[in-house]
Structure 1
């Protein structure tokens, strides 16, 4: 089970047009309004995504508690495999068999919201909004649409690991890793110079999240065009090219995958890399010299906000039991049930105050606790930097143009202009 699962974004976005065309035929008999007033009763069909195998007892307990709190309700739990989940949602929506409460990420919620199949919680459940972290609630808002289309559920983020010894060898303070891009660029240049180019700070070229962390506007408010070619985006790419030319970025940064970057960090040829609790255990077992010098810090940003990965629970706007569906989605995502789930697996609650619990603030010296405490701290103000509409094809287009700029084949401005043009073209073909 991969709790930090990356979704099939391209597939989810590609089904939007089909859903819009078929939405009028997918009614389950309800009025399709955004009202959820009425008695909490009836059978709620609840669909998750690859969770039953490892968390059956947890969910069956939550369901039993809900049915006890609301006599006259029953929850039917459906758990779908991860493979083909976006296609399954599309087929259910088109066929009028979409469950009442559905586990979604923002990119999966978008085509359903655009087709009018997702309940607007700003209208139907506004009284619950203040229970959740602001960034988590906003993560299920959709470009070009007004409203919020899923209850925020569990969160995740990735801290940065850094090598304190390499920082010290370069004359940098190992207790003060970079927190802004200006500091990162300066420290990376110093490290490359002090090591005669043997040690790079980072192993990867900038991705869309980096442009967001830098402070670039990624998309217009209506969701009709991309904007990461504006001055802030161009400035970031210029800085990365300077790092690349100076040897402060790994020589294979244009082709490195996450696995390759991880190996380079373990081999101590780069000084910083994102990671997880699993990586900590690997370092301790396979790279003890790295492990004893390991530092943990939030990812660099200019916005004061880290990146957030979020899952949500969407309510079917055409559900025949909307009052019960809203009540159940809220119940699953309330502070108590989210905290209990976080004790089952390495995820984080999206509810306000939960991240102040000692479980997320007190370091007991264990590997997984070190990562948990660092991640929880950053999640309090984190946002989802990847635009909901940014597909895998768009990621490839950006990656290719970034490579051309770093290699000097295009100016940073021309490369980003061309990337935006291609992403806008892809947006029109899927939207």
Structure 2
């Protein structure tokens, strides 16, 4: 279902950064230090990603709190619009004007780390690692490189919504939705058969996250090549081809967007669709009959680990005030501030223990809380399946080849071989 891009963390939906390896950061162009143990002082700049409009008071309060805690510091907060954010970071990195502390997603931090512009927190701030969920801390690690290159910030994940009425009409138990991929494919074929091909179960082609949830290896251990064309990957795409042929996968899935898939679900043309707690209010307003019969279940996975999206806060390795920059990045992402932010928008803290707070564990009888509690529980062991090196161009390459396979223009094996070849070429171009 369509959700707010920032709140739902549509991570990695940006163009790949192309940075010269000799690029340098910080506004004065001088090199910094990896030693964060000194006195916390000096002027630093903090850049966020399209957050000022809705959270101005919150961030001004965070900045004021930090400056009060550390007299002698001054934080200049700047916020960039969502559109063109990747290009802005690329230009700043190349021009030596990258802010000291930067809001990033894993795909954005990868080229900065390769260019030597992202501070390795395993060296500069290892003492803080235990404060964060292991999966979240690992989300800003780069295959083929040692180190962690951003503090994990807020997380998100979401359940699957399903239409109980459509399940009943197909003779399926509305209180027993599919939990495994085998169940999903069996139920989807039954729904399509019983409806004469009028009701599809899914509205989207498989993405890189779907291959990850299915247990497909995505990248080799060295981080030098993609690996999702292995037999298990071919198996998943073959099953999707069967769904497509039976109209259990919506015929328009090849060109679907989150918005179009959401509309299909609202109108009863699709039986299941991923979403978040933010969607429930949309159901209430636009499809009250669906809302009254909505089913909520966990993401389907073969690994036992759901997918999570993650945002991070990176420290520019060329900052002149490393202690202050590291201290501020940690301050923004510590447990207290993450919890405060999570209560302002439907996101989740990446800090260890925060998800045990009653806000994320106690039911109050509402569907909104039900979704929040279920998501928080799953996030404790969630994985960011999108490889940090998987750019928007690579997503397009995979989608194009998957479409050819579903249309019968090539075999699932050939499609994934071609997708891996294209993605590997793009990966080499990243440097």
* Contact 2:181/2:301 (8 A) holds in 1: yes
* Contact 2:202/2:270 (8 A) holds in 1: yes
Deviations 1:31-87 (A, max 9, x none): 44x332212222222111222222121112112222222222222212222222222
2:210 corresponds to 1:197: no
Matches within 5 A, 1:268-287: 268-287=268-287
Inter-partner Cα distance in structure 2 for 1:361 and 1:105: 27
Equivalent position of 1:113 in the other structure? 113
Matches within 5 A, 1:254-333: 254-333=254-333
* Contact 1:161/1:296 (8 A) holds in 2: yes
2:83 corresponds to 1:80: no
Inter-partner Cα distance in structure 2 for 1:251 and 1:240: 12
Deviations 1:149-175 (A, max 9, x none): 000001112221011222233233322
Match of 2:18 among 6, 15, 30: 15
* Contact 2:25/2:319 (8 A) holds in 1: no
Deviates more, 1:377-386 or 1:108-117: 377-386
Q: Are residues 387 and 75 of structure 1, via their aligned partners in 2, closer, same or farther at CA, if it must alter by over 3 Å?
A: same
C-alpha deviation, 1:129, in angstroms: 0.7
Inter-partner Cα distance in structure 2 for 1:253 and 1:78: 39
Q: Are residues 312 and 147 of structure 1, via their aligned partners in 2, closer, same or farther at CA, if it must alter by over 3 Å?
A: same
C-alpha deviation, 1:27, in angstroms: 7.4
Inter-partner Cα distance in structure 1 for 2:260 and 2:26: 48
Equivalent position of 1:407 in the other structure? 407
Equivalent position of 2:209 in the other structure? 209
Equivalent position of 1:96 in the other structure? 96
Q: Are residues 333 and 308 of structure 1, via their aligned partners in 2, closer, same or farther at CA, if it must alter by over 3 Å?
A: same
* Contact 1:102/1:316 (8 A) holds in 2: yes
Counterpart of 2:122 in 1: which secondary structure?
Answer: helix
Inter-partner Cα distance in structure 2 for 1:295 and 1:221: 39
Equivalent position of 2:343 in the other structure? 343
C-alpha deviation, 1:8, in angstroms: 6.6
* Contact 1:281/1:367 (8 A) holds in 2: no
Inter-partner Cα distance in structure 2 for 1:367 and 1:97: 46
Matches within 5 A, 1:107-256: 107-256=107-256
CA RMSD of aligned residues (A): 2.0
Residue segments in structure 2 that go unaligned for 5+ positions in a row? none
2:20 corresponds to 1:29: no
C-alpha deviation, 1:260, in angstroms: 1.9
Residue segments in structure 1 that go unaligned for 5+ positions in a row? none
* Contact 2:355/2:377 (8 A) holds in 1: yes
Q: Are residues 5 and 301 of structure 1, via their aligned partners in 2, closer, same or farther at CA, if it must alter by over 3 Å?
A: closer
* Contact 1:213/1:301 (8 A) holds in 2: yes
Equivalent position of 1:70 in the other structure? 70
Inter-partner Cα distance in structure 2 for 1:286 and 1:221: 46
Inter-partner Cα distance in structure 2 for 1:190 and 1:402: 23
Deviates more, 1:72-81 or 1:104-113: 72-81
* Contact 1:25/1:95 (8 A) holds in 2: no
Inter-partner Cα distance in structure 2 for 1:199 and 1:216: 28
TM-score normalised per structure 1: 0.93
Counterpart of 1:155 in 2: which secondary structure?
Answer: strand
Inter-partner Cα distance in structure 2 for 1:339 and 1:400: 40
How many residue pairs get aligned? The number is 427
* Contact 1:296/1:374 (8 A) holds in 2: no
Deviates more, 1:168-177 or 1:148-157: 168-177
Counterpart of 1:241 in 2: which secondary structure?
Answer: helix
Counterpart of 1:117 in 2: which secondary structure?
Answer: coil
* Contact 1:160/1:273 (8 A) holds in 2: yes
C-alpha deviation, 1:326, in angstroms: 1.0
C-alpha deviation, 1:7, in angstroms: 5.6
Counterpart of 1:219 in 2: which secondary structure?
Answer: coil
Inter-partner Cα distance in structure 2 for 1:343 and 1:293: 27
Equivalent position of 1:355 in the other structure? 355
Q: Are residues 91 and 145 of structure 1, via their aligned partners in 2, closer, same or farther at CA, if it must alter by over 3 Å?
A: same
* Contact 1:200/1:249 (8 A) holds in 2: yes
Inter-partner Cα distance in structure 1 for 2:181 and 2:136: 24
Inter-partner Cα distance in structure 1 for 2:286 and 2:244: 29
Inter-partner Cα distance in structure 1 for 2:166 and 2:382: 28
Inter-partner Cα distance in structure 2 for 1:408 and 1:7: 31
Equivalent position of 2:386 in the other structure? 386
